[in-house]
Amino acid sequence: MQLQTAQRKRAKIKMALQAPSGAGKTYSSLLIAFGLCEDWNKIAVVDTENHSAELYAHLGAFNTLQLSAPFTPEKYLQAIEVCEKAGMEVVILDSVTHEWEYLIDFHSSLQGNSFTNWGKITPRHNAFVQKILNTQSHVISTIRTKQDYVLNERNGKMVPEKVGLKSVQRDGLEYEFTLAFDLDMKNHALASKDRTGLFFGQPEQKLSIETGKQIRDWCNSGAALTVDDISRRIGDIVSIQELLALYQEYPQFKEILKPEFEHRKRQIIIQQEVQTALPNLQNATNGLH
C-alpha cells in the first residue's frame, strides 16, 4: 500500500438517462453521443426497443445492433464486445431496463428459497455492470421509469400529466454512473447524479450536441493515465475477477504489465489455497488432542 496525491485521470463517461417512455431518451442520447465523438460512424445503439433507434436515422449514419428477448445480461456483454471490436467510441444501451426485467422474471421462475436464489442473480448483474464501467468506450444507458399520472392545475383546471417515478432497474445502479439525467415528458433534463460538477444544481435544460461536447471536454481534461498508475492498482487487487477486469480495462498496457498481472494472479491463488487449507489443518490438529 502506498499513499499518493489524488489526481483525476482522463476518463470515458458512463452516464444514464432516466425517463418514462416517450420522453426522448434515445434522441437525447444520440445528440450527446455525437457531441462526445463528432462522428456518427463511431456511435452504436444497442437497441432493445424493436428498431426504434432507426427512427432517428436522419440525424446521421450511426450503427445499430438489435437485441431480442430474452434480454440476458450475457447478451448485453456480447453486444458491448461487438461494439468494442468495431472501434465504437460511444455505445448507447437502449435500454438497460430489459436486463433487470429479465432477471426479475428469471428469479421468479426459480424453485426453492427466494433469498438464496438471489445468489444466482447478483453475479450475473454485477458482471453486466462491470462491463459497462470497464469498457474503453463512452457508454450512455437509458433507463425507463415507472409511469404515473398526477393532477396539476392549469388555467383553473386540474389536468392529468404523465410523470416519471422510480427507475426500472436494480436499486443503487445510479450510483455506478458518473452522470445521470432525469428527463420529463417535455424532454427537459435535470442532473440527479453528477460527479463532473458541470450540471448539478443547474436549471432544467434540453440535452444537445453541446451537452456532449461539455462532457467530452471534462473527460479529456484529466491527466493522462500512466503505466505506474495501473501498476499501483495491481498490487491492491485481492480477487482474480477484479484482476481480470483491470487487465481488460486498459488494453494499451496489457503487454508491458503482463508479468505483473501474472505475478499478482499467482499470489492471489496461493492466498486462496492457504485460506482453504487452514480450516482443514486446524481440524486435523484438533483431532490429535
Q: Delimit the domains of the chain by residue range.
A: 14-220, 227-286
Per-residue confidence (pLDDT) for residue 174, from 0 to 100:
83
Per-residue confidence (pLDDT) for residue 63, from 0 to 100:
97
Per-residue confidence (pLDDT) for residue 256, from 0 to 100:
81
> Could you tell me the three cell numbers for 121?
442473480
Other Cβ atoms less than 10 A from the Cβ of 109: the count is 8
Per-residue confidence (pLDDT) for residue 183, from 0 to 100:
93
- Phi and psi angles of residue 203, each rounded to the nearest 5 degrees, phi first: -60, 160
Superfamily of domain 14-220: P-loop containing nucleotide triphosphate hydrolases (3.40.50.300)
Average pLDDT by consecutive 10-residue portion of the chain (289 residues)?
60 92 93 97 94 93 95 96 96 96 95 89 93 93 83 80 76 87 92 88 93 93 72 84 82 82 90 74 56
Three-class secondary structure of residue 104 per DSSP: helix
